[in-house]
Structure 1
Amino acid sequence: MASWGEIAKQAPEFTTRVRERFAAGTNKTIATLRRDGSPRISASELEFSDEEVTLGMMGGSMKLLDVRRDPRIAVHSPTIEPPVDAPESWPGDAKLAGTVVPVDPPADNPYEGAGFFRIDITEVVLTYVGTPADHLVIESWHPVQGWRRRKRH
């Protein structure tokens, strides 16, 4: 696992583009694990700093109950459709996965029972259409392999 800052030091251009994808809209899709192990998806907001990715969850929410039981999560950036006439101009979408770790709430926290977390990251992926537009490009970061780039036709 790694912090966002550690990954950014290893692959700064990659993390800049990933961060831009997550900034494309307010709501991201977060996947948590239900008690029976099946996935639950919900909307969530993330905050990126130079060092960490953090998020909060409303008290009593199902996703908060999920992560208190099993802290593994995956988060997907807002999805924007590729332009039909120029798919290679699509900036792509991004995903990250990891484990949430509780952090202290902000001093001005008005939400009783809310949970605040940083993400210890185990995977970051950026996918986009290549040039020419006959393949996908998958860039990823993993703790063991570091950053890599692959094509899928």
Structure 2
Amino acid sequence: MATWAEFAAEEPDLAAFVQGRFAADRHALIATLRKDGSPRISGVEPDFTHGELWAGMMVDSLKVRDLRRDPRFALHCMTTTASMTEAGDAKISGTAEFWTDKDVYLKDLFDRTGWQPKPEEIDLFRMNVTEVVQMTVEGDGMVVLSWHEGRGTRRVAKK
């Protein structure tokens, strides 16, 4: 699994686009896997800082239970229009690593935002990436730029 920084070093333009899409609306959707293997979609606020992708979640929430049991996830930015002509679309897939040493992250979060939950009020995950996707509209077609760990980047234009 690649950290966000490792991916960004390999594909800085794609990383900047995707990070920008997630920053445009802090709220995103995360897909996790329930105990029976069926998907669960939940809201989350991903946080890119110091070369890492983080997600803090309500303690022992269903999505936390899902990720602790099976760390695979898919993350999708908020899409502002159905046509995607304004900003495009971004997705990230990978595995979530449960993080118990929260003090450094929470201090940094406070320094950046003025908000600092108590460590016992948040379950924290560092997200490692295996796939990153950018979708944009160019002319009358869609362009999909996708990076897969170990395979590099592929560009596909669709009409």
Taking structure 1 as the reference length, what is the TM-score of the superposition?
A: 0.88
User: What is the total number of aligned residue pairs between the two structures?
Assistant: 147
Matched, 1:119 2:127: yes
One-letter identity of the residue aligned with 1:118: R
After the TM superposition, list the runs of 4 or more consecutive aligned residues in structure 1 that deviate by more than 4 angstroms: none
Q: As a proportion of its length, which structure holds more helix?
A: 2
In the alignment, structure 1 segments of 5+ residues that lack a partner are none
- Structure 2: distance between partners of 1:82 and 1:36: 32
The equivalent residue for 2:15 is: 15
- Structure 1: distance between partners of 2:60 and 2:97: 18
Q: Are 2:57 and 2:64, in contact at CA under 8 Å, matched by a contact in 1?
A: yes
One-letter identity of the residue aligned with 1:24: A
One-letter identity of the residue aligned with 1:105: K
Q: Give a deviation string over 1:10-62, Cα, whole Å, max 9, x none.
A: 11111111111101112100001001100000100011124110111111211
Taking structure 2 as the reference length, what is the TM-score of the superposition?
A: 0.85
One-letter identity of the residue aligned with 2:88: G
Q: Are 1:58 and 1:111, in contact at CA under 8 Å, matched by a contact in 2?
A: no
TM-align CA RMSD: 1.7
The equivalent residue for 1:142 is: 148
One-letter identity of the residue aligned with 2:154: R
The equivalent residue for 1:49 is: 49
The equivalent residue for 1:96 is: 92
Identify which of 142, 145, 157 aligns with 1:151.
157
Between 105-114 and 5-14, the greater mean CA deviation after superposition = 105-114
- Structure 2: distance between partners of 1:60 and 1:141: 32
One-letter identity of the residue aligned with 1:10: E
Percent identity over paired residues = 43
- Structure 2: distance between partners of 1:110 and 1:4: 25
